[in-house]
């Protein structure tokens, strides 16, 4: 079986209906007790497994409208009794019955499908009001990590809780687990700093991570001299059969270059410009799924190994669990496209970033923005799959943010798309579709 059975696939994987309607119910003047309108963080207990859902309620007298996991709902409020129904696609329905007390809604969700003669699934839930965003001045946090994690778990206790707008200054250790002092802190495999819990972040939102500082904090990196299998045809595989040893690079921050510590005879004068980047930026994946290893990637980001995630860049990721749970790690002093050696110039890093949350904006995958370009990443089991996904993700971006029709999307992509191979060293291959912002200026929202 593919993933999660039948009805639950829809519950957990996709909105019940694909387009959203009727969210604009206006609120009347007469205030009502209790407070129901707003965004709720809902956790349901599926036979022992906690599953998060996004819920937005708009109250108008005793009528309720809103959005449950991306699909419109209709219901009523009678005293403190609350009920609503969601009618989704393919016959899926959700009925909620609960009661509100002390700013918490408790009750049951009943998942059914009109095509399925079998019994419905009824699970208990409780929901708490998502706090309004803190209007106070953004804070800056100094965070000294003491533990580093080797999976992107949604179940991990946050290392630090921050608010949207806050800035965090911290460090990452290298992919092998060694810190800026050369001390091994943990077994290798991209151990991560974090996770950071971002207040008000809920499933269905987008996390924004703006990298304000990304600097080297030691003078060496480790890599190796192989070419990963995705880069080898049969002849090159034979030629490369005897390579694969560890290689150390000297990082000269003054001159801004990296050089091999023990170069072969033809590379004695070879150097590459330092261009520090983060291999890993991730939010926690949807919680019912087992935690991925920190070598993996997905629509939630992860080990993307994309060499445009540098100082000044902004990363956008679709949030799956309350607080988003942001992980960062795997700094590279420099990296060619695709991380062809398996290891880039792996090193520890001094990192500062600002987080932001965009409410109720759902991305189909990671996006990156630089001063000059917008970039949509596709990740998949082959470059061909990654290419399709990158194209579809950018099409979503142009459609949703620039209001382009399918025909207009095609015309812009056909004339302005730039594709780059971001990653070939991991289980997922990555391709990034970039568009120069100059091309989009005439399309910008607000421009007439």
User: Of 326-365, which residues contact its own copies (CB under 8 A)?
Assistant: 330, 332, 334-346
Please say which residue, 210 or 230, places its beta carbon nearer to its own copies: 230
Residue 177 binds to its own copies (criterion: CB under 8 A): yes
Among 59, 223, 297, 348, binds its own copies (CB under 8 A): 223
Under the criterion CB under 8 A, does residue 203 sit at the interface with its own copies? Answer: no
Q: Residue 313, interface with its own copies (CB under 8 A)? A: no
Distance of closest approach, residue 356 Cβ to its own copies, in angstroms:
27
Member of 65, 190, 193, 348 binding its own copies (CB under 8 A): 190
- For the bound state, the minimum distance from the C-beta of residue 108 to its own copies, rounded and expressed in Å, comes to 14
Query: Which of 20-28, 71-79, 224-232, 313-321 is the region at the interface with its own copies (rule: CB under 8 A)?
Result: 224-232
Cβ 50 to its own copies shortest distance, Å: 9
Q: How many residues lie near its own copies (CB under 8 A)? A: 151
Choose, by CB under 8 A, the member of 230, 361, 362, 437 that binds its own copies.
230
Residue 247 touches its own copies, criterion: CB under 8 A: yes
Q: Does 269 bind its own copies (CB under 8 A)?
A: yes
Residue 95 makes contact with its own copies by CB under 8 A: no
Nearer to its own copies, 103 or 181 (CB): 181
Q: Does 224 bind its own copies (CB under 8 A)?
A: yes
Burial class (CB in 10 A: 0-12, 13-18, 19+), 97: middle
Residue 372 found at the interface with its own copies (CB under 8 A): no
Q: Which 28-57 residues touch its own copies, going by CB under 8 A? A: 46-49, 51
Q: Find the binding residues for its own copies in span 127-166 (CB under 8 A).
A: 150-153
The 3-class secondary structure across the chain, one letter per residue, is CCCCCHHHHHHHHCCCCCCCCCCCCCCCCCCCCCCCCEEEEEEEEECCEEEEEEEEEEEECCEEEEEECCEEEEEEEECCEEEEEEECHHHEEEEEEEEEECCEEEEEEEEEECCCCCCCEEEEEEEEECCCCCCCCCCEEECCCCCCECECCCCCCCCEEECCCCEEEEEECCCCCECCCCCECCCCCCCEEEEEEECCCCCCCEEEEEEEEEEECCCEEEEECCCCHHHCCHHHHHHCCCCCCEEEEEEECCCCEEEECCCCHHHCCCEEECCCEEEEEEECCCCCCCCCECCCEECCEEECCCCCCECCCEEEEECCCCCCCEEEEEEECCCCCECCCCCCCECCEEEEEEEEEECCCCCCCCEEECCCEEEEEEEECCHHHHHHHHHHHHHHHHHHHHCCCHHHHHHHHHHHCEEEEEECCCCCEEEEEEEEHHHHHHHCCCCC
Touching its own copies, residues 103-132 (CB under 8 A): 113, 115-119, 121
User: Which CB sits closer to its own copies, 35 or 410?
Assistant: 410
Q: Tell which one of 17, 85, 99, 260 touches its own copies (CB under 8 A).
A: 260
Distance CA 218, CA 399 (A): 44
Q: Which stretch binds its own copies (CB under 8 A): 158-166, 196-204, 205-213, 269-277?
A: 269-277
| Of the candidate residues 32, 240, 253, 310, the single one contacting its own copies (CB under 8 A) | 240
**Among 124, 244, 256, 312, which residue interacts with its own copies (rule: CB under 8 A)?**
244
Of 137-145, 163-171, 207-215, 412-420: span binding its own copies (CB under 8 A):
412-420
């Amino acid at each position: 079986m593919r993933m999660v059975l039948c009805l639950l696939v829809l519950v957990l994987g996709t909105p019940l209906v694909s387009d959203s309607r009727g969210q604009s119910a206006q609120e009347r003047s007469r205030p009502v007790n209790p407070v129901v309108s707003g965004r709720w963080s809902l956790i349901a207990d599926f036979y022992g497994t906690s599953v998060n859902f996004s819920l937005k309620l708009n109250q108008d007298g005793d009528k309720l409208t809103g959005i449950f996991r991306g699909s419109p709902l209709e219901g009523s409020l009678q005293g403190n009794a609350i009920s609503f129904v969601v009618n989704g696609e393919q016959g899926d329905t959700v009925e909620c019955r609960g009661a509100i007390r002390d700013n918490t809604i408790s009750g049951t969700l009943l998942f059914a499908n009109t095509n399925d003669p079998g019994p419905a699934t009824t699970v208990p839930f409780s929901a708490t009001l998502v706090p309004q965003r803190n209007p106070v001045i953004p804070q800056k946090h100094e965070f000294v990590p003491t533990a580093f994690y080797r999976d992107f778990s949604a179940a991990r206790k946050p290392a630090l809780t921050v608010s949207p707008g806050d800035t965090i200054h911290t460090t990452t250790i290298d992919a092998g687990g060694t810190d800026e002092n050369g001390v091994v802190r943990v077994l290798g495999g991209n151990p991560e700093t974090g996770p950071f819990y971002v207040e008000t972040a809920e499933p269905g939102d987008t996390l924004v991570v703006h990298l304000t500082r990304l600097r080297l904090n030691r003078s060496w990196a480790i890599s190796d001299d192989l070419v990963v299998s995705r880069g080898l045809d049969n002849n090159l595989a034979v030629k490369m059969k005897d390579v694969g040893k560890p290689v150390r690079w000297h990082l000269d921050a003054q001159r801004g270059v990296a050089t091999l510590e023990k170069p072969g005879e033809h590379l004695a004068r070879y150097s590459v410009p330092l261009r520090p980047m983060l291999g890993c930026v991730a939010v926690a994946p949807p919680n019912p799924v087992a935690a991925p290893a920190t070598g993996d990637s997905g629509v939630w980001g992860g080990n993307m190994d994309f060499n445009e995630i540098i100082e000044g860049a902004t990363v956008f990721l679709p949030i799956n669990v309350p607080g988003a749970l942001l992980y960062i790690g795997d700094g590279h002093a420099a990296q060619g496209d695709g991380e062809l050696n398996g290891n880039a110039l792996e090193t520890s890093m001094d990192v500062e970033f600002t987080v932001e949350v965009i409410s109720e904006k759902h991305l189909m995958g990671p996006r990156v923005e630089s001063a000059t370009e917008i970039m949509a990443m596709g990740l998949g089991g082959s470059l061909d799959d990654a290419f399709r996904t990158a194209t579809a993700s950018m099409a979503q971006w142009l459609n949703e943010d620039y209001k382009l029709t399918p025909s207009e999307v095609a015309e812009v992509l056909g004339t302005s798309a730039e594709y780059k191979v971001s990653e070939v060293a991991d289980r997922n291959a990555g391709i990034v579709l970039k568009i120069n912002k100059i091309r989009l200026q005439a399309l910008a929202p607000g421009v007439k």
